[in-house]
Amino acid sequence: MKNITNPMVEDLNNIINLHKERVRIYEKASIESSDENLAGLYKKLAFQSAEMADDLRIALKVNYGIVLKFKLFVGKFKRTFLQAKSIFTSHPDDKILDTCSKAEELIKSAYENVLERGAELLEAIKELLLKHYSYLSNAHNSIRELQVKDGEQTPLVVE
């Protein structure tokens, strides 16, 4: 079994925690949104993130024997997600989309950080992370396409 360093374990745990926070954000967004199509997209993204967190948690347990636990964020992660949670109260959908886009950038950045230093990871974990990153990139693109442009919202297209 290939060894994994504590800093990498912490970074992978942060990704799992980001997914759990992403689920909460999108569940809240689905409730707060005044647009049924957006609410549907938010529900889909919440479900997707829950699955990705479970996939990664299980893969790390199977491949490394590591059991990761949910923990509270510190620093940049905590501030970003607290801002995301606070924006939903009485804000129009364009503000919710802006906040969701920022959250997507944050989780993608966490994946990029791990993948850049991923030489110590088993190939199965790298492949899973790359697959997740692709899904997150698509989700981020969907959110960005929906952001208000020139006062008009682009049509919703969900793959």
Identify residue 104 by its one-letter amino acid code.
E
Q: Is the dihedral of CA 127, 18, 101, 115 positive or negative?
A: negative
Domains of the chain: which residue ranges? 6-146
Contacts of residue 32, defined as CB under 8 A and 6 or more positions apart, other chains included, come to 88, 89, 91, 96
**What is the predicted pLDDT for the residue at 74?**
47
Smallest Cα–Cα separation from 131: which of 23, 48, 38?
48
**What is the predicted pLDDT for the residue at 76?**
54
137 C-beta neighbours (distance < 10 Å), count: 13
Q: Provide the 8-state DSSP code for 152.
A: B
Smallest Cα–Cα separation from 21: which of 100, 75, 109, 96?
100
> Using an 8 Å Cβ cutoff, are 27 and 46 in contact?
yes
Q: pLDDT tens for the chain, 159 residues: list them.
A: 567 888 898 899 999 999 998 998 899 889 888 889 889 999 999 999 999 999 999 999 998 888 876 565 544 555 555 555 555 555 577 778 888 888 899 999 999 999 999 888 999 999 999 999 999 999 999 888 887 553 455 444 444
Looking at CATH, the fold of the domain delimited by 6-146 is given as Ferritin (1.20.1260)
Q: What is the pTM of this model?
A: 0.80
Distance, in Å, from the CA atom of 131 to the CA atom of 148, rounded to the nearest integer, reads 28
